[in-house]
């Protein structure tokens, strides 16, 4: 991995502890481009949307709107930088043991791949996946999938699943060309950013994928402004 091609974009507050872990894994310091969480009520895009929205559909809440606006700002930061791609991390991202072992490998794989966006995690931790309540809500196929990805594949080099972007945006890779393309669209507050990117991932030509075993999960002990303000 060439350090000049890559940066980290922290959304919310800069997670110094996580960044230091990443520097140690990569054996180099990586530039950080920070983007604060956006409070939608202070955004002219959100104000204009609220004023014109159709009352039949309410659209997303102010928390999800702020998250969407912050990610768009992250894309703009990448566009106006000299970097080719970025690792976008929300402030509650937490690296897994698998991530500590394979992050460098995944970055190198991604840089030389056709993928425009690659999701690196899941908002559900290992223990939550295999909790009694969660297993009750999974189909036999879903349980088999989780065992395959969370147990068996943990001891294998990273595997990637095409046309998938899970419903979370706490950790993903994005290339400058993809950021430029997405930023050209008018902001639509009908769906949260993870829902939108999930829908884009269903089209093969968009070249969106995920790492099947999570490199990152979410730190659920941390307060989420998105949840607090309303999704």
Cα dihedral 14, 224, 98, 168 sign: negative
Residue ranges covered by each domain of the chain: 3-123+159-220
In tens, the pLDDT along 135-161 reads 666 677 767 777 777 776 778 899 999
pLDDT the model gives residue 98: 93
pLDDT the model gives residue 204: 96
| CA distances, 93 to each of 10, 75, 114, 218 (Å) | 10, 18, 25, 5
Residue appearing with tokens 């700002």:
73
Residue appearing with tokens 């966006």:
117
pLDDT band at residue 184 using 50, 70 and 90 as cut-offs: very high
DSSP class of 149: I
User: Are 208 and 165 contacting, i.e. CB atoms less than 8 angstroms apart?
Assistant: yes
Paired tokens of 33? 């481009």
Q: Across-strand partners of 95?
A: 216
Q: What is the mean pLDDT of residues 200-215?
A: 95
How many whole angstroms separate alpha carbon 165 and alpha carbon 139? Answer: 20
| CA distances, 172 to each of 41, 56, 110 (Å) | 26, 33, 11
Average pLDDT of every residue of the chain? 87
Residue 131 has pLDDT above 80, yes or no: no
Residue 23 has pLDDT above 90, yes or no: yes
pTM over 0.75: yes
In tens, the pLDDT along 76-113 reads 999 999 999 999 999 889 999 999 999 999 999 999 99
Paired tokens of 66? 């702020």
Number of continuous H segments (helices) and E segments (strands) in the chain? 10, 9
CATH superfamily of domain region 3-123+159-220: Spore Coat Polysaccharide Biosynthesis Protein SpsA; Chain A (3.90.550.10)
pLDDT band at residue 207 using 50, 70 and 90 as cut-offs: very high
Coil, strand or helix: which one is 11? strand
């Amino acid at each position: 991995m060439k350090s000049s091609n890559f940066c980290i974009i922290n959304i919310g507050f800069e997670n110094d502890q996580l960044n230091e872990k990443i520097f140690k894994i990569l054996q180099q310091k990586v530039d950080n481009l920070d983007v604060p969480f956006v409070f939608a009520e202070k955004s002219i895009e959100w104000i204009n949307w609220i004023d014109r929205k159709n009352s039949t559909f309410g659209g997303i809440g102010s928390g999800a709107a702020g998250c969407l606006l912050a990610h768009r700002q992250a894309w703009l930061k990448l566009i106006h930088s000299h970097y080719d791609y970025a690792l976008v991390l929300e402030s509650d991202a937490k690296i897994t043991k698998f991530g500590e072992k394979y992050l460098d490998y995944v970055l190198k794989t991604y840089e030389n791949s056709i993928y425009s966006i690659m999701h690196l995690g899941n908002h559900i931790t290992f223990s939550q996946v295999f909790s009694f309540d969660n297993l009750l809500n999974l189909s036999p196929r879903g349980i088999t999938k989780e065992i395959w990805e969370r147990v068996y594949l943990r001891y294998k080099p990273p595997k990637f699943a095409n046309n998938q972007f899970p419903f979370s945006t706490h950790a993903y890779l994005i290339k400058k060309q993809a950021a430029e393309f997405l930023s050209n669209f008018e902001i639509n507050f009908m769906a949260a950013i993870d829902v939108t990117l999930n829908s884009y991932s269903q089209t093969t030509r968009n070249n969106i994928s995920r790492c099947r075993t999570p490199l990152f999960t979410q730190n659920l002990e941390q307060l989420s402004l998105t949840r607090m303000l309303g999704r």
